[in-house]
């Protein structure tokens, strides 16, 4: 078979796996190194996101505006992958897309504490999220190759856990600087420039060490998630007898029907999922916490996120997508607890939000990798994120509007949407098992 194009900005790869250069580090080392990149990056932008709600409120935003801005930011981080995913697949320059996206995010955040107008702060919030949209399909594709050898759930779970260590440290640093500086957001966000520089340096080193992570997936390895009973997409991940799948064929044709059904389930769970911007707005405006204490709650939520990602990732490799039943349950619990006028339930709701985020960020990525062949994976991640982004825009705006009018209505609407998602999952899983047998 002929050459199919330069993957990841490197040398062309043919259908013969012998043409793929061997990686210069093991798959677990690659996952851990990429996890360190994400740890440092989350230090930066999760540190900023922990105070987005109070910062916007100080500049004159209402709850509806905070919900709209943070919801639009999440939508931008997700919907724009509809373009960046196919472009990454088409150009095969996954490293270039990854580096560009990280650079936009980590270079934008330090300026957020210097602006004095609501529109400028909103623009920077959106710009940071656009950086995530640029890098995510390419980054997840690079990781998916290594997790083919480590186990999808375990690999993505460990990466997400490391990611959330940074998401825990960043808000704590921001909280400490805010407490020492009298609630001045400039120095608190300015200190995040240092880990941002480290992100870019580590990415350059990792790109040099492993120019083509696809070699992890083409190398002989035991089938991780795809071969287990009840796992989604086992049939999609199998190579033809005698060698690797045809790379040109793998990048053409429609995506599997199961992928679209799974995307519909995810959209329903995301549509009823409030952003932390609205949660933090509630904590400050109802005088439950000071602005300096909000990042501590966010850090705790990120710690729960990391633990949930590890636990559910390991369970996914054993049980398959049945573990996703916890996602609608957690999403329904968030507004019921987080928008209480008592401190303890409100904090518990924030922790439930962190647990649901951990499930989303680890297991959902693993499921997409199992459902879709390698050549279409960045496109699939982009389309999947676009569905989530549309749902996030609806969820963020709806949460802000309903919060101002009626918290009980917000809780009821969210519970109804999550109940519908559970019904869809209950219908989907038996069909997947019956079809496999």
Q: Mind listing the pLDDT tens digit for each residue in 332-387?
A: 888 888 888 889 998 998 899 888 888 877 788 888 888 888 788 888 888 887 88
Closest C-alpha to 25, from 146, 153, 177, 111: 146
191 Cβ neighbours under 8 A, 6+ residues apart: 173, 174, 177
Region 231-260: mean pLDDT is 52
Question: Residue 389's Cα: distance from chain center in Å?
Answer: 11
Q: Which residue has the higher pLDDT, 273 or 164?
A: 164
Residue 139 has pLDDT above 90, yes or no: yes
pLDDT(185) > 50: yes
pLDDT in tens, 4-39: 334 333 433 333 344 556 677 889 999 999 999 999
Q: Is residue 427's pLDDT more than 60?
A: yes
The reported pLDDT for the residue numbered 16 is 39
In order of 261, 322, 358, the CA distances from 425 in angstroms are 9, 8, 19
Q: Which residues of 198-225 are buried (b: 16+ CB within 10 A; e: fewer)?
A: bbbebbeebbeebbbbbbbbbbeeeebb
Nearest 10 degrees: Cα torsion 249, 251, 253, 259: 120
Per-domain residue ranges of the chain:
26-218+256-436
pLDDT at 81 > cutoff 50: yes
Quick count: other Cβ atoms within 10 Å of Cβ 90?
12
Q: Is the pLDDT of residue 418 over 70?
A: yes
Q: In whole angstroms, what is the distance from residue 41 CA to residue 60 CA?
A: 28
Domain 26-218+256-436 fold: Growth Hormone; Chain: A; (1.20.1250)
418 vs 273: CA distance, rounded Å = 9
Which uninterrupted H or E stretch holds 328?
Answer: helix 326-338
Is 258 within 8 Å of 232 (Cβ atoms)? yes
pLDDT at 2 over 60: no
Q: Is the predicted pLDDT of residue 189 greater than 50, yes or no?
A: yes
What confidence score (pLDDT) does residue 130 get?
Answer: 92
pLDDT in tens, 196-231: 999 999 999 999 999 888 888 765 444 444 434 344
- C-beta of residue 325 within 8 angstroms of C-beta of residue 273: no
């Amino acid at each position: 078979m002929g050459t199919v194009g330069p993957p990841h900005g490197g040398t062309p790869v043919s259908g013969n796996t012998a043409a793929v250069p061997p990686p210069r580090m093991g798959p677990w080392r690659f996952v851990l190194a990429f996890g360190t990149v994400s740890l440092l990056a989350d230090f930066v932008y999760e540190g900023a996101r922990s105070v987005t709600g109070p910062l916007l409120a100080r500049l004159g935003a209402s709850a509806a505006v905070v919900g709209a801005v943070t919801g639009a930011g999440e939508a931008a981080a997700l919907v724009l992958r509809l373009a960046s995913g196919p472009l990454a697949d088409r150009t095969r320059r996954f490293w270039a897309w990854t580096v560009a996206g990280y650079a936009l995010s980590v270079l934008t955040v330090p300026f957020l504490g210097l602006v004095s107008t609501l529109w400028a702060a909103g623009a920077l919030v959106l710009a940071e999220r656009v950086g995530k949209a640029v890098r995510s399909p390419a980054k997840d594709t690079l990781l998916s190759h290594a997790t083919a050898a480590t186990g999808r759930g375990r690999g993505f779970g460990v990466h997400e856990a490391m990611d959330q260590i940074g998401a825990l440290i960043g808000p704590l640093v921001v909280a400490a600087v805010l407490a020492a500086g009298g609630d001045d957001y400039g120095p608190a966000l300015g200190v995040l420039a240092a880990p941002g520089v480290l992100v870019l340096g580590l990415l350059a080193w990792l790109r040099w060490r492993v120019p083509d992570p696809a070699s992890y997936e083409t190398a002989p390895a035991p089938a991780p998630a795809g071969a287990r009973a009840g796992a989604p997409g086992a049939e999609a991940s199998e190579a033809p007898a005698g060698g690797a799948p045809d790379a040109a064929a793998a990048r053409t044709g429609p995506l599997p029907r199961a992928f679209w059904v799974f995307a519909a389930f995810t959209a329903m769970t995301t549509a009823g999922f409030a952003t932390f911007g609205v949660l933090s707005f509630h904590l400050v405006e109802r005088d439950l916490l000071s602005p300096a204490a909000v990042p501590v709650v966010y850090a705790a939520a990120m710690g729960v996120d990391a633990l949930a990602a590890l636990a559910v990732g390991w369970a996914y490799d054993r049980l398959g997508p049945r573990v996703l039943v916890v996602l609608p349950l957690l999403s329904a619990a968030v507004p019921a607890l987080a928008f209480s006028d008592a401190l303890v339930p409100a904090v518990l709701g924030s922790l439930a939000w962190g647990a649901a985020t951990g499930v989303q960020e680890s297991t959902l990525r693993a499921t997409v990798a199992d459902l879709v062949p390698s050549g279409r994976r960045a496109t699939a991640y982009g389309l999947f994120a676009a569905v989530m982004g549309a749902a996030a825009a609806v969820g963020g705006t709806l949460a802000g509007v309903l919060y101002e009018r009626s918290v009980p209505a917000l809780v009821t609407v969210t519970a109804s949407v999550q109940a519908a998602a559970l019904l869809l999952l209950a219908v989907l899983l038996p069909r997947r098992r019956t079809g496999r047998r």
